[in-house]
Structure 1
Amino acid sequence: MTTNDWLTTGETATMLGVSRQHVVDLCDRGELPCTRAGTHRRIRRSDVERMITPLLTREQEKSLWLHRALLGHLMIEPASVLDTARSNLSSWKSIHREDGMATSYLQRWEQVIEGGVDSVVPVLVGTDEVSSELRQNSPFAGVLSDIERRQVLRSFREHWDGEHAAA
């Protein structure tokens, strides 16, 4: 490991957007692994990045891969892809209860799509909790062909088996 792989508590606090004391408390409680260099704590950059971008479940990561794949279609034919999503939303809203959770996700998607491509892209590729939840109720069904979808799922399985086999 290089010295750039290790952070001070101050650098860690800046990355996390918290106080230095909060970082010290996280280390002392064992919630953030650290090592000591004399009286100073050093934190691995990878551990801090993991706190910023938490690990996704297998299903969340699979959904992320599928949505990354449809990003190309969105960039090439934005109007067509957004129209497909709008059409799906319209038909799905008619079959769900107005007060149900599914309807609330569909309404949130309508707001995102209303903002255009620049609003849609961060949700398609975001690893935050809201993006992951929205992707589980994605209106982009039918954008990828069956062949594309199968290819993405095959490459995802290979990735997952290779990257997560040791875990």
Structure 2
Amino acid sequence: MATDGQLLTTGQAAQVLGCSRQHVVDLCDSGKLSCAVVGSHRRVARVDLQRFLDEGKVLRREEERSLWLHRALLGPLLRDPERVLDKARSNIRRWSGAHRPDGMSQSWLREWERVLDQGVDAVADVLASRAPRAVELRANSPFAGVLDERERLAVHQSFRRHWAAEHPAA
């Protein structure tokens, strides 16, 4: 276990991960997340928690919710790729004018343009991937307006049930 002088309790690690304390304990006990035992308590080094996140082994709650919403885009993308890709490109054009030319938002919009230019398979890969780059891209998604409100609400409800079942409160 790496130490950087910043040991977190399992409760603090759970807050960072957006899950229950018990889930962090289970990750530690299974060896998926490095920890040290201090007395009878597990402690997680901040650097190890960040490494765990960077490896894509677990997503924060909002990242996983975004993954679910973007997976829901796969249906429309495969049924009508031209409409979905056109909507994303239109959003990028509109948003580009609203952000500083040298800002991070512009950087993500340009990255999305590159993905869109690679075609449906590349877009589908980003929509469904747990990789750190895909997580970052989805946080800056140009797909607003592709799913209607009813579809978005259904995905949110399904995700809440999934999250509650997979991450029960400690």
User: Tell me, what secondary structure is at the counterpart of 1:59?
Assistant: helix
Q: Deviations over 1:83-139 (max 9, x none)?
A: 000000000001000110111000000000001101101100110110000001000
* Residue 74 (structure 2) aligns with: 71
- Sequence identity percentage: 53
Deviation at 1:55, TM superposition (A): 0.3
User: Tell me, what secondary structure is at the counterpart of 2:98?
Assistant: coil
Which structure has the bigger radius of gyration? 1
- RMSD (Å), alpha carbons: 2.0
Q: Aligned letter for 1:108? A: E
Q: Aligned letter for 1:56? A: L
Aligned length: 122
Counterpart Cα distance in 1 of 2:84 and 2:122 = 14
Alignment partner of 1:97 out of 93, 100, 104? 100
TM-score with structure 2 setting the length: 0.67
* Residue 160 (structure 1) aligns with: 163
TM-score with structure 1 setting the length: 0.69
* Residue 134 (structure 2) aligns with: 131
Higher RCO (Cα < 8 Å, 6 or more apart): 2
Where does structure 1 differ by over 3 angstroms across 4 or more consecutive aligned residues?
30-33, 50-53
Counterpart Cα distance in 2 of 1:52 and 1:111 = 24
Distance 1:70 1:99, change over 3 A: same
